[in-house]
Amino acid sequence: MLHRAADNGSLMMLKIGDLTLHSPIMLSPMAGVSDLPFRMINRRFGCGLAFAEMISARALTYRNSNTLKMLSTHPTDRPLGLQLLGNDPKIMQRALDILCDYEFDVLDINAACPVSKVTKRGEGSAMLREPRKLFEVLKAVVAHSRLPVTVNCKLIYPARFPSSHQ
Ligand SMILES: Cc1cc2nc3c(=O)[nH]c(=O)nc-3n(C[C@H](O)[C@H](O)[C@H](O)COP(=O)(O)O)c2cc1C
């Protein structure tokens, strides 16, 4: 149904950089959920872009085996987005060097995750408290990436960080 609507031109075409999506339906990155089988099921139902599970840039630079497993894909698992978590421009760039060996289409930076084990390291949504640092991270990533870069962030800052109002 979704495909037919797209063919009729009644669904909006989305472009991210040079990438044109055949459907505006996207599967967001979901830690512990958006693995390869889950992505393939969603693609069968018309998903135009699927994101893999969030990857920690630091864990990637350690070549952590669980992290490398999360990069599992298949030629039909496209277009594919990867989301990186991290707040250190140098580590983000080292992670991008490793990702050169992997096929994907969009890079997303996580400035949204509110989970305390992430925010206590200053990563995820905690970066919204430090806009200058977030800018440095994004500047380094965009300068180093061959792919379009997007950012996932919350419009409303998590209530547990009252300093966000300052
Ligand atoms: C189980 C679960 C895991 C998630 N993991 C991530 C994640 O790793 N990175 C991220 O940016 N958002 C993550 N999210 C948030 C989703 O990507 C999405 O932004 C959120 O569910 C809001 O989308 P909705 O308004 O369509 O529900 C997660 C959400 C759920 C339910």
The CATH number that applies at residue 83 is 3.20.20.70
What integer is the mean pLDDT of 124-134? 95
In a domain, 164, yes or no: no
Task: Check pocket membership of 138 for ligand 1, CB cut-off 6 A.
Answer: no
The Å distance, Cα 31 to ligand 1 centre, comes to 8
Choosing from 25, 26, 30 the residue with most ligand 1 atoms within 8 A of its CB, the one to mutate for a pocket test is 30
Nearest CA to ligand 1 atom 20: 28
The Å distance, Cα 33 to ligand 1 centre, comes to 10
Domain count, the chain: 1
Percent pLDDT > 70 in the chain is 87
Choosing from 25, 27, 28 the residue with most ligand 1 atoms within 8 A of its CB, the one to mutate for a pocket test is 28
Res. 140: pLDDT tops 60 = yes
In a domain, 162, yes or no: no
Task: Check pocket membership of 151 for ligand 1, CB cut-off 6 A.
Answer: no
Structure-token pair, residue 66: 């669980």
Q: pTM here?
A: 0.88
| Domain of residue 27, residue span | 2-154
Task: Check pocket membership of 54 for ligand 1, CB cut-off 6 A.
Answer: yes
Give the tens place of pLDDT for each residue, 26-55. 999 999 999 999 999 999 999 999 999 999
In a domain, 110, yes or no: yes
In a domain, 165, yes or no: no
Active site residue 113: yes
Res. 65 pLDDT band, cuts 50 70 90: very high
46 within 8 A of 23, measured Cβ to Cβ: yes
In a domain, 150, yes or no: yes
49 backbone dihedrals φ, ψ, rounded to 5°: -155, 130
What is residue 157's predicted lDDT score, i.e. its pLDDT? 63
